[in-house]
Structure 1
Amino acid sequence: MNEPSGEHDRYAAGLEVRRSVLGAGHVERASKATTDFDRPFQELITEAAWGTVWSRPHWTKRERSMVTLALLAALGHDEEVAMHVRATANTGATREDICEALLHVAIYAGVPAANRAFRISKRVFAEMDGRADGQ
């Protein structure tokens, strides 16, 4: 992604955090897929989500990871749930942490949302473990 004018520090910090959480490969693929149409969006999420919120010092990446997963699961953003489950390999959030976050989703956002997120998480764990069973 090309660096936007003006917000160099926030963009650079965001790019660094984004790479550390999602992995350099993911960020590189997103960068290569960026077009003139969605470049402003990619710049926005790099600066705002990664350079502002994820860069704040008050929570660890592990804590942010768990909250992010719970929110994404509650809102039914399945692709983002899968991406952030994979990212836990970089954030330090354990499978037990994810289970606890999804239990909160069940109580506060509904059993169907948690059930879907558990299913997605199991599939991603199987992929991460090199298994095809999803168990």
Structure 2
Amino acid sequence: MSDLRDTRGDAMRRRVLGDAHVDRAHRNMSAFDAPFQEFITRGAWGEVWSRPHLTPRERSMLTITLLAALGHHDEMAMHVRATANTGASAADVQEALLHVAVYAGVPAANTAFAIAKRVLAEMTAGSSADGEGGQDR
């Protein structure tokens, strides 16, 4: 890590997604995607997620809502898993997805509810909350 944003970004990414997820992303990193991994660590995690005004719980709900609305299902599932680390509850996810229905459309929310329901059930059954099964971002 070359600067404070990298260090802060790596720490936040680990806090939200878990060490196992971040370690797996690092292991799977190649020369091709290394610049992207560095960009998201610095930009998304070191600049945006590390800002003090919103809590990780609030950022988690915003992220899930945006990913659901945009149809980024793998990323949304990963962030639903990360609620185990951010403090967002199943009720928080439910409320966020109801907003998706109103502002992004019922089809987007219908798919998002199905994904969240599956992921939350897996988490309740004891599955890993470290982002396993999602993209290595």
TM-score, normalised relative to structure 1: 0.91
- Is 1:122 matched up with 2:117? yes
Partner of 2:21: 26
Distance (whole Å) between structure 2 residues aligned to residue 129 and residue 97 of structure 1: 16
Poorly superposed stretches of 4+, deviation over 3 Å: none
Partner of 2:79: 84
The letter for the 2-side match of 1:78 is H
Residue pairs, 1:28-43, within 5 angstroms: 28-43=23-38
> How far is the alpha carbon of 1:58 from its aligned partner?
0.2
Structure 1 residue ranges without an equivalent (≥5): none
- Is 1:58 matched up with 2:18? no
Larger radius of gyration: 1
> How far is the alpha carbon of 1:99 from its aligned partner?
0.5
If asked which structure has higher relative contact order (CA below 8 Å, sep 6+), I would say 2
Question: How many residue pairs align between the two structures?
Answer: 126
Structure 2 residue ranges without an equivalent (≥5): 127-137
Distance (whole Å) between structure 2 residues aligned to residue 31 and residue 116 of structure 1: 30
Distance (whole Å) between structure 1 residues aligned to residue 110 and residue 18 of structure 2: 27
> How far is the alpha carbon of 1:47 from its aligned partner?
0.3
Q: Percent identity?
A: 64
The partner residue of 1:94 within 89, 93, 96 is 89
Partner of 1:10: 5
The DSSP-based 3-state class of the residue aligned with 2:54 is coil
Deviations 1:6-61 (A, max 9, x none): xx100000000000000000000000000000000000000000000000000000
The partner residue of 1:75 within 60, 67, 70 is 70
Distance (whole Å) between structure 1 residues aligned to residue 41 and residue 99 of structure 2: 28
The letter for the 2-side match of 1:21 is V
The DSSP-based 3-state class of the residue aligned with 2:125 is coil
- Over the aligned positions, Cα root-mean-square deviation in angstroms equals 0.9
The letter for the 2-side match of 1:102 is L
